[in-house]
Amino acid sequence: MKNKRLLMRWYKRKFYNGRSIVARAVDFVALRIIILAACYLWFITRIDNTVMAAVLSFTALAAISVAAEIIKSMRLVRFIDRERVQIAHSIFRERLLILPKEEFLAIVKAYLGEHRACYPDECLVFTVQSSMPVNADTVLRAFRAAKKRSLAAAVIFSAAPVSKEAHAITKSLSGVSVGFVTPDALLKSASATAFLPTPDAVDEAILSAAAKAKAQRKKTASEPFASGRMRRYVLVAAALFALSFFVKYTAYYRMLAALSLSFGALAFWLNLFSPIRETGGAA
């Protein structure tokens, strides 16, 4: 149940372009107020009775809100489906790079079995498990290997995309036609479904990404009070206090100095009682 809530929170945060629950709540209330005001202004110009105009305005607001929520929920469902598919594909691409050679070849064989008519027996199958895009040198190796075996075609199965140079050099080769099968092509085939991650694996990937994002937000929020910042706040407070004797708005400068000093004290307190502290000595 907790994981489901975390997953839905992650989906919604991404669906709303990173906006927090508070920001979405403010947008929700502000938008409804604007809609209510617009409806009231529209009805009041057509009905002399202000009470009736208000009732109709609230009724219209309720109808618009219900319709908006239905549309939004439908869009969210479609977004979740697309997001899960994209994450599954991303995991599949990452797995292609780290799979043992035998398992990678099993994916290749499944693809070849599905597209048997496209790849005759005299076609060389050349596999590449590298994170770097397929380059011209890889194409030349496949070309020479096919040439050595007197084959008329070669197909390169790659765990990474294909560079423009690799595509370009195939046009200048004669005697052997060289083609490519990239992870995107593998994903479009029916044989890839047997090798795609399970829904639980997708959930784990999302929860891991959510935990990392939360840790990053926490780190960003605590950055102004990190260790070593106290001295800077104190120096700024001292500089502002000293400037207050030479400027026109003395009280404002001293207020800013007090605020900076307060930040310094808060930074000192947070670092003093932080649960994660480096300790010296040997155990």
Mean pLDDT (the chain, rounded): 83
Residue 246 or residue 52, greater confidence: 52
DSSP string for residues in 12-58: HHHHTTT--HHHHHHHHHHHHHHHHHHHHHHHHTT-S-HHHHHHHHH
Report H helices in 189-249: 199-222, 229-243
Residue closest to 14 by CA, chosen among 86, 89, 83: 83
Q: Strands of 34-167 (E only): list them.
A: 123-128, 153-158
> Does 107 have pLDDT greater than 90?
no
Residue type (1 letter), 62: A
> What is the pLDDT at residue 217?
67
Residue 221 or residue 253, greater confidence: 253
Other CB atoms within a 10 A radius of the CB of residue 77 amount to 11
Which tens digits make up the pLDDT trace of 237-249? 888 888 888 777 7
> What is the pLDDT at residue 192?
75
Which stretch of 26-40, 134-148, 269-283 has the lowest confidence by average pLDDT?
A: 269-283
> Which helix or strand (DSSP H or E) is residue 109 part of?
helix 101-114
- CA distance between the termini of the chain: 41
pLDDT (average), residues 109-129: 85
The single-letter DSSP state of residue 192 is: G
Query: Residues 91, 191: contact at Cβ < 8 Å?
Result: no
Cα distance between residue 3 and residue 205, in whole Å? 12
The residues that bridge with 123 in the sheet, in sequence order, are 153
> What is the pLDDT at residue 272?
64
**Would you place residue 271 in the very low, low, confident or very high pLDDT band (cuts 50, 70, 90)?**
low
Cα distance between residue 106 and residue 189, in whole Å? 14
56's CB contacts (< 8 A; 6+ apart) are 39, 43, 47
Residue type (1 letter), 33: I
Residue type (1 letter), 5: R
> Does 37 have pLDDT greater than 90?
yes
Query: Residues 87, 206: contact at Cβ < 8 Å?
Result: yes
Residue type (1 letter), 253: Y
Query: Is the pTM higher than 0.75?
Result: no
Which tens digits make up the pLDDT trace of 91-102? 888 888 888 888
Residue 74 or residue 241, greater confidence: 74
